């Protein structure tokens, strides 16, 4: 342990920590832009400068190791003036667009400019005029005019995701954040995980699917566990008016931290998708004609009009009447919409309820086991199941159904 | 190639060495002279000697740079040291016939000093060399840099042998520390202390790195040394490696120095062959080797941390220190970065002792300083002078003063990150601390002279533009701040300046100095601040009077015809590309300021000095 003084307060800290880490542990705030606790420190943005007694110049708290006996002033005039200068310089090359910016209210630059009382610097000098949204990546939106060149995206991609898509090209004022050799992201090996977006402190990188759908003060964050695989990543669904408009990383997610894959971050569109099945479907023949007619009449069940659904949602509107050619199962006939009320082909899907559907399955299991024994079954587990669900699945297969024929879709 | 366990320091054929009394014609094959056909001169000399049947008796030697490149190609006839300048291939015959055979120096090729009537015969009698003291450059122009035997004959590798066989690494560090040697890369950090720090870090492997990036525009000290005496740098690096406990090293040299790279390659090959590099050097158990790493020519890659990033294949951007290279440098390992010259001093210090070194120069800045003297001065080139010499001695004695009888105005030292000093400071002794106190810096050795025709605002703008373009872009103060400063300076030179701009420049400068990550951004405002300090009136003239006192800034000058002097010869009108000049034959002409593009051609071509450049005031 070492002892040092920050802003007159003496602090005991573990060896090897940076001034920034020690200060934050002690509840002393030092502003940062390029620093992120998940990433390596580069000392680029100069926001975290502090005065260290005896040092020749200001030191960046994010990179300077705290040392025994150090005397640090985080709010010296030099440090504060330097921070204001840095912010002012960043603003001289930043669009004055907070009003329409996606990250208004969720922007580290905006907050610091406000906290340090920096005024909008008018000038007739050079400002970048990069093309907005120049990349065809389906998920990631780029506005380089807002980029402050903090390199957090570069480090996130490299250090967390190990894809190394981003880097800087050119130098000085011409410095530009580029994918690969100034290519499109996908050509540079991007897998669209959106890690770079998650770490961008400003609105230079954003989620394309969420543009115009809601800003931080208009949404509610709902913490959830990803349903795509068994890892159990957590993230926040950004919900506005009952609809998910975006997924954002949750720094305190126990399993994954800020990291997500493309499915977890961008694969949420199924939730509100019209094709989504919201009730269990059972073929009419397993339910019996009477039950079906009765429950439909009672308004509890409904005929699932697969053909109609496909025609309305998968085809352009003017093409709606053309039947979809069924190449995979050429002998299957879609029921004629007009005839559905008068005749009910036995394979028709009926939208039922869970109790009914599970009963059907349970009865069929029992019947089959009795008739043919456990070896008649083979079970395939889904990658969307959690570990716990897979555990139960295994028990069920071997103990209830009494078969060894179990596998997992990840092995296919 | 096998590794010799015990290299031989005896010179194999002394009658061919650089110290022999044998006749020898040395031809400079540095970058400057090579570009004006010195290779052909050498060829022709050989042929002429063959013709005379003297090729066995007279050696034609390739050497490194003499420093007086503006007079190249340079050829010196030893042992009498007759110094020939601007030698053309066709002059070879004459040198051989008249001088070598006839014994009469070729008068027409001798150096004609603009300040003296008689041509100068001998090398050291030339004013340019009078006040020089050549320790580092002592072998340049004397030995063949591609022949390790020449270096060995000049006591080469003796210091290494002494270190490896008689001295402990700590003794080496102590000797270098005692010598007071300060790093010649610009910062002036004590070299011995630096080695000590790298030695103290208990982690291996360690690296020694030679900084031969030399990015200052117009500077070529390191290049000349590498081209003229590469082994001295290599020997210094091996000594440093032994001192700190490193087994591997890199020479980071810019790819724009192909000749230096080639000479280094040859030197490394020869040093390996002789066993100065490799395993178990001098049977001491110490092993070391090094490789050349070519840089792509970014100025910032001369900054030590950016340089190491570049060696590692990363983008050439600095990292904040601490950690210092001595603790965590190349691949996070302890590393020692020194300038070419810093390493090259080491062998001489070990050979001759710290006390010998200390008696050269000043107590706090011992040794010599190497400068590339350029700009408005009669004699330009590469010079090595003892520390403590004054600026006046360099500019007027060595440089021969200002050409065309013009007035001296300022001298810029320290390259684009340095500062300028006016007349009052000419008697400041040159050393790290005095220059800093005067508001400039030693830097790594650029020295640019400005005369009365130099616009100091433009002078400052030029250096700032360089820094702005070379900013790596990592930190906002330098990346954006330097551009904002440049925009103001440009505005002032274009006559759009405002008085508040002066305070704004100072404010921005402070922001860069305080906020920038590395020396580039921290020092980029220096030239501007020094011009503001010493030549504020020129700034005010541009801003208030919309005048350029040096009559250089195009937006603030007009070209006019003095009617009384104009003969109406019509030369100016015929030359003007903008068709801005009108007038009848034999009648005074007139320049239309609206059409005039201020190219200055009419001013050049008028035979009657009838065209003047005017600026208000
Ligand atoms: C922008 C910048 C450019 C530099 N360029 C060079 C250079 O070209 N050569 C050099 O030796 N040192 C250069 N330096 C200084 C190096 O960072 C370093 O201090 C030096 O190589 C240390 O060597 P020394 O102790 O022998 O002086 C530069 C520094 C800065 C900030
Ligand atoms: S895009 Fe965002 S994270 Fe990346 S460098 Fe620019 S500001 Fe930083
Ligand atoms: S001061 Fe300039 S050159 Fe140095 S790190 Fe910052 S941007 Fe790069
Ligand atoms: S947070 Fe320390 S320099 Fe950016």
Annotated domain spans of chain B: 19-130, 148-357, 368-451, 456-544, 557-614
- Out of B298, B482, B517, closest to residue A46 by CB: B517
Cβ atoms of B174 and B181 within 8 Å: the answer is no
Nearest to A63 by CA among A35, A86, A87: A35
User: Cα B517 from chain centroid?
Assistant: 26
> Mean pLDDT, chain B, as a whole number?
93
Please report, in angstroms and rounded to a whole number, the separation of the first and last CA atoms in chain B.
Answer: 73
Measure A112 CA to ligand 4 centroid, in angstroms.
13
Q: DSSP string spanning B478-521?
A: HHHHHHHHHHHHHHHHTT---THHHHHHHHHHHHHHHH-SSHHH
Q: What is the pairing mode between strands A49-52 and A71-73?
A: antiparallel
pLDDT in tens, B497-544: 999 999 999 999 999 999 999 999 999 999 999 999 999 999 999 999
| Domain A216-272, CATH class in plain words | mainly beta
pLDDT the model gives residue B617: 67
Strands (E), B379-466: 381-386, 408-413, 419-422, 446-451
User: How many C-beta neighbours within 10 Å does residue A209 have?
Assistant: 17
Query: CA A166, A167, A168, A170 torsion: positive or negative?
Result: negative
Query: Pick from A64, A168, A173: which is nearest to B483 by CB?
Result: A173
Structure-block tokens of residue B41: 């001169």
For residue B514, how far is its CA from the centre of ligand 2 (angstroms)? 24
Closest CA to B208 of B177, B174, B263, B245: B245
Is A45's CB within 8 Å of B475's CB?
Answer: yes
Which pLDDT value is given to residue B33?
A: 93
Quick one: DSSP state of residue A227?
A: S
- Of B63, B75, B234, residue with least CA distance to B140: B63
For residue B253, give both structure tokens.
């040299």
pLDDT reported for residue A385: 83
Q: B127 versus B288: which is more confidently predicted?
A: B288
Closest Cβ opposite residue A172 in set B322, B471, B515: B471
B148-357: which CATH topology? Rossmann fold (3.40.50)
- CA–centroid distance, residue B574 to ligand 2 (Å): 57
Q: Is residue A44 lining ligand 4, measured as CB closer than 6 Å?
A: yes
Residue closest to B604 by CA, chosen among B577, B572, B574: B572
Q: Are strands A49-52 and A59-60 parallel, antiparallel or unpaired?
A: antiparallel
Q: Is A274 exposed, middle or buried (0-12, 13-18, 19+ CB in 10 A)?
A: exposed
Average pLDDT of B445-471?
A: 95
What is the share, in percent, of chain B residues with pLDDT greater than 70? 96
Expressed in percent and rounded to 5, the helix, strand and coil fractions of chain A are 35, 15, 50
* Residue B145, number of CB atoms within 10 A of its CB: 30
pLDDT recorded at residue B547:
95
What residue spans define the domains of chain A? Answer: 2-89, 92-210, 216-272, 281-354, 356-411
Residue in chain B closest to A125 (alpha carbons) equals B487
What is the pLDDT confidence band of residue B254, given thresholds at 50, 70 and 90?
Answer: very high
Does residue A148's CB lie within 6 angstroms of at least one atom of ligand 4?
no
pLDDT of the residue at B65:
92
Mean pLDDT of B299-314: 96
Nearest bound ligand to CA A42? 4
**CATH assignment of B368-451, among 3.40.50.11540, 3.10.20.600, 3.30.390.50, 3.30.310.10:** 3.10.20.600
CA distances, B407 to each of B401, B449, B451 (Å):
9, 11, 6
Measure the CA–CA gap between B55 and B48, rounded to whole angstroms. Answer: 8
Tell me what ipTM this predicted complex has.
0.91
Interval B360-365 mean pLDDT: 95
Contact between B228 and B63 (Cβ < 8 Å): yes
For the domain spanning B456-544, the CATH number is 1.20.1440.230
Q: Is the CB of B468 within 6 Å of ligand 3?
A: no
The residue-averaged pLDDT of B10-18 equals 54
Residue B313: CB atoms within 10 Å = 7
Span A92-210: which CATH code? Answer: 3.30.70.20
How far is the CA of A214 from the CAs of A105, A220, B69, B446, B493, in angstroms? 11, 10, 68, 58, 49
pLDDT at B9: 62
For B557-614, CATH number? 3.30.70.20
Average pLDDT over residues B35-53: 93
Ligand 3 pocket test: pick from B213, B298, B299, B317 the residue with the most ligand atoms within 8 Å of its Cβ.
B317
Chain A to chain B Cβ contacts (< 8 Å): 106
Cβ partners under 8 Å of residue B125, min gap 6: none
pLDDT averaged per 10 residues, chain A (length 412): 96 95 96 98 98 96 97 98 98 96 97 97 95 97 98 97 96 97 97 97 97 96 91 94 96 96 94 86 89 89 69 46 43 43 76 94 94 95 86 95 90 65
Tokens of B188: 């002036």
Q: Residue B439: its pLDDT value, please?
A: 87
Give helix B191-200 / helix B230-244 axis angle, nearest 10°.
40
Cα distance between residue B325 and residue B201, in whole Å: 10
Let me know: does B229 contact B219? Beta carbons within 8 Å: no
Rounded Cα distance, A239 and B16, in Å: 88
Residue A358: count other Cβ atoms within 10 Å of its Cβ: 12
Are residues B346 and B210 in contact, defined by beta-carbon separation less than 8 angstroms? no
**How many CA atoms lie within 13 Å of B298's alpha carbon, on the beta-carbon side?**
24
Fold of B19-130: Glutaredoxin (3.40.30)
**Which residues neighbour A309 within 8 Å (Cβ) at sequence distance 6 or greater?**
A274, A275
Pull the structure tokens for residue B37.
Answer: 């056909």
Residues in chain A whose Cβ is within 8 Å of chain B: 42-46, 49, 57-60, 63-65, 78, 81-82, 85-86, 89-90, 92-93, 123, 125-126, 148-149, 167-168, 170-175
Neighbours of A151 (CB within 10 A): 24
CA separation, residue A126 to residues A94, B487, B488 (Å): 11, 8, 12
pTM as predicted: 0.90
**Residue nearest to ligand 2 atom 8, measured at CA:** A150
**DSSP letter string over A315-335?**
S-GGGTTSPPP--SSTT--PP
CATH of A2-89, one of 3.40.630.10, 3.10.20.740, 2.60.40.10, 3.40.50.300: 3.10.20.740
Q: Could you give the CA distance from residue A214 to residue A238 in angstroms, rounded to a whole number?
A: 9
Contacts of B259 by beta carbon, 8 Å cutoff, 6+ apart: B30, B31, B34, B223, B227
**In this predicted structure, which of B90-94, B164-168, B305-309, B454-458 has the lowest mean pLDDT?**
B90-94
CA of B215 to the centre of ligand 1 (A): 9
Q: How far apart are the first and last CA of chain A?
A: 53
**DSSP result, B537-560:** HHHHHHHTS---TTS--GGG-EEE
Confidence tier at B84 by pLDDT (50, 70, 90): very high
């Amino acid at each position: 342990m070492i002892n040092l003084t920050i802003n007159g307060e003496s602090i005991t800290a573990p060896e090897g920590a940076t001034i920034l880490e020690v200060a934050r542990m002690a509840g002393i705030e030092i502003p940062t832009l390029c620093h992120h606790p998940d990433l390596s420190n580069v000392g680029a943005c100069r926001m975290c400068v502090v005065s260290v007694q005896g040092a020749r110049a200001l030191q960046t708290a994010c990179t300077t190791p705290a040392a025994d006996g150090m005397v640090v002033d985080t709010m010296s005039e030099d440090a504060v003036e330097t921070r204001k200068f840095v912010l002012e310089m960043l603003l001289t090359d930043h669009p004055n667009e907070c009003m329409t910016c996606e990250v208004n209210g969720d922007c580290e630059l905006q907050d610091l400019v406000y906290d340090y009382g920096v005024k909008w610097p008018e000038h007739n000098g050079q400002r970048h005029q990069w093309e907005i949204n120049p990349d065809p990546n389906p998920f990631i939106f780029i506005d380089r005019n807002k980029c402050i060149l903090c390199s957090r995206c570069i480090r996130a991609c490299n250090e967390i995701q190990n894809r190394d898509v981003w880097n800087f090209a050119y130098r000085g004022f011409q410095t530009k954040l580029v994918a690969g050799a100034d290519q499109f992201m996908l050509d540079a090996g991007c897998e669209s995980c959106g890690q770079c977006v998650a770490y961008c402190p400003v609105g230079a990188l954003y989620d394309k699917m969420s543009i115009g759908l809601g800003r931080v003060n208009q949404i509610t964050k709902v913490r959830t566990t990803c349903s795509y695989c068994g890892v159990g990543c957590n993230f926040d669904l950004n919900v506005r008016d009952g609809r998910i408009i975006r997924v954002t990383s949750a720094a305190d997610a126990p399993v994954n931290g800020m990291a997500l894959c493309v499915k977890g971050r961008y694969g949420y569109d199924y939730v509100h998708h019209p094709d989504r099945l919201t009730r269990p479907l059972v073929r009419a023949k397993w339910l019996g004609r009477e039950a079906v007619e009765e429950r439909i009449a009672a308004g509890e069940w409904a005929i699932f009009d697969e053909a109609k659904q496909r025609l309305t949602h998968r085809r352009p509107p003017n093409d709606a009447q053309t039947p979809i050619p069924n190449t995979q199962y050429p002998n299957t006939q879609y029921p004629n919409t007009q005839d559905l009320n008068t005749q009910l082909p036995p394979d028709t899907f009926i939208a039922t309820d869970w109790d009914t559907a599970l009963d059907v399955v349970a009865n069929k299991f029992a019947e089959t086991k009795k008739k043919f024994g456990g070896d008649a079954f083979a079970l395939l587990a889904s990658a969307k199941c959690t570990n716990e669900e897979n555990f139960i699945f295994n028990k069920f297969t071997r103990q209830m159904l009494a078969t060894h024929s179990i596998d997992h879709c990840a092995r296919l | 190639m096998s590794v010799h366990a015990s290299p031989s320091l005896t010179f194999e054929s002394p009658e061919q060495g650089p110290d022999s009394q044998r006749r020898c014609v040395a031809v400079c094959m540095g970058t400057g002279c090579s570009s004006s056909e010195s290779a052909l001169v050498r060829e022709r000399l050989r042929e002429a000697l063959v013709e005379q049947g003297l090729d066995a008796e007279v050696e034609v030697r390739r050497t490194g740079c003499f420093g007086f490149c503006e007079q190249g190609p340079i050829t010196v006839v030893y042992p009498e040291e007759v110094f020939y300048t601007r030698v053309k291939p066709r002059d070879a015959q004459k040198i051989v016939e008249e001088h070598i055979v006839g014994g009469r120096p070729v008068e027409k090729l001798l150096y004609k000093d603009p300040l003296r009537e008689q041509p100068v015969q001998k090398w050291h009698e030339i004013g340019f060399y009078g006040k020089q003291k050549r320790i580092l450059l002592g072998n340049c122009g004397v030995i063949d840099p591609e022949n390790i035997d020449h270096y060995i004959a000049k006591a080469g590798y003796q210091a290494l042998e002494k270190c490896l066989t008689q001295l402990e690494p700590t003794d080496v560090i102590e000797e270098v520390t005692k010598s007071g040697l300060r790093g010649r890369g610009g910062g002036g950090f004590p070299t011995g202390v630096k080695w000590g720090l790298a030695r103290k870090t208990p982690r291996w492997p360690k690296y020694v790195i030679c900084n031969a990036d030399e990015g200052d525009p117009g500077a070529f000290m390191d290049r000349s040394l590498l081209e003229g005496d590469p082994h001295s740098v290599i020997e210094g690096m091996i000594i440093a490696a032994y001192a700190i406990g490193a087994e591997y090293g890199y020479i980071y040299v810019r790819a724009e120095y192909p000749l230096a790279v080639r000479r280094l390659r040859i030197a490394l090959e020869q040093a390996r062959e002789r066993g100065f590099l490799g395993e178990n050097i001098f049977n001491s158990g110490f092993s070391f080797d090094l490789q050349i790493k070519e840089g792509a020519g970014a100025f910032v890659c001369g900054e030590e941390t950016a340089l190491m990033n570049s060696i590692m294949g990363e983008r050439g951007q600095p990292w904040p220190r601490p950690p210092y290279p001595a603790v965590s440098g190349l691949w996070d390992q302890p590393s020692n970065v020194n300038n070419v010259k810093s390493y090259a001093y080491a062998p001489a210090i070990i050979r001759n002792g710290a006390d010998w070194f200390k008696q050269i120069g000043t107590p706090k800045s011992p040794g010599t300083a190497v400068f590339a003297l350029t700009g408005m001065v009669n004699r330009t080139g590469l010079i090595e002078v003892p520390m403590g010499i004054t600026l006046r001695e360099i500019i007027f004695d060595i440089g021969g003063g200002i050409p065309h009888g013009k007035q001296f105005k300022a001298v810029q030292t320290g390259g684009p990150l340095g500062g300028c000093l006016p007349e009052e400071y000419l008697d400041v002794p040159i050393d790290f601390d005095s220059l800093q106190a005067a508001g400039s810096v030693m830097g790594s050795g650029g020295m640019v002279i400005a005369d009365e025709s130099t616009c100091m605002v433009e002078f400052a703008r030029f250096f700032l533009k360089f820094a702005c373009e070379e900013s790596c872009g990592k930190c906002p103060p330098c990346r954006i701040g330097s551009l904002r400063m440049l925009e103001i300076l440009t505005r002032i030179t274009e006559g759009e300046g405002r008085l508040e701009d002066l305070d704004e420049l100072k404010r921005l400068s402070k922001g860069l100095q305080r906020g920038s990550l590395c020396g580039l951004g921290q020092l980029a405002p220096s030239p501007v601040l020094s011009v503001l300090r010493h030549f504020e009136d020129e700034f005010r003239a541009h801003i208030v009077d919309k005048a350029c006192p040096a009559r250089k800034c195009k937006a603030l000058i007009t070209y006019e015809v003095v009617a009384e002097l104009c003969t109406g010869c019509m030369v100016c009108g015929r030359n003007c590309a903008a068709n801005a000049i009108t007038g009848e034959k034999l009648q005074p002409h007139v320049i239309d300021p609206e059409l005039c593009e201020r190219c200055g051609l009419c001013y050049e071509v008028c035979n009657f000095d009838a065209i003047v450049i005017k600026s208000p005031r």
